[in-house]
Structure 1
Amino acid sequence: MTPENRSAAIAAAVLLAVFGVGAYYLPTIMIAVGNLSTVAAGIVAILFVAAFFLVFWLRGRSRRDNRD
């Protein structure tokens, strides 16, 4: 395994762990926020999903910029 592959694997594992833990606690967070506002709870869920895709979109842009 090359150092580049190793760092990519470590980054993927960290992202998987962070979003996995976030997804595990998301219902609890949504219930807590939902006690204040149901709209805010929905926004929390939308932001969580958007953050997941935003990370990969930014990584793709970064890799595309480095390739040029």
Structure 2
Amino acid sequence: MTGSNDKSGRSAAIAAAVILLVTGIVFFILPNVMISLASISPWLSASLAAILVLAFFLLFWLRARYQRGRE
């Protein structure tokens, strides 16, 4: 494997690592944010958590669609 296929694989690995790192940081601070929001509304707190979890999967789904479109 040489050429663009190797470069493409490396690029995908770097993108996945960055996405996982950012997501890990967000999920690390999420409990504190949820506790703060729960003082306002438990529904608001749960909604934020659900949106962030769905956004994690949506991001990988969109990346896969983008990659399929490029091939």
TM-score for both structures, normalised by structure 2: 0.84
The equivalent of 2:13 in structure 1 is: 9
Q: What is the aligned partner in structure 2 of residue 24 from structure 1?
A: 28
RMSD of aligned Cα (Å):
1.4
Q: Give the unaligned 5+ runs of structure 2.
A: none
Q: How many residues align?
A: 67
Identity of paired residues, percent? 43
Please tell me the residue identity of whatever aligns with 1:32.
Answer: S
Structure 1 stretches lacking a partner, 5+ long = none
Question: Which 4+ residue blocks in structure 1 deviate beyond 3 angstroms?
Answer: none
Deviations 1:32-52 (A, max 9, x none): 111111100000000010000
Normalising by structure 1, report the TM-score: 0.87
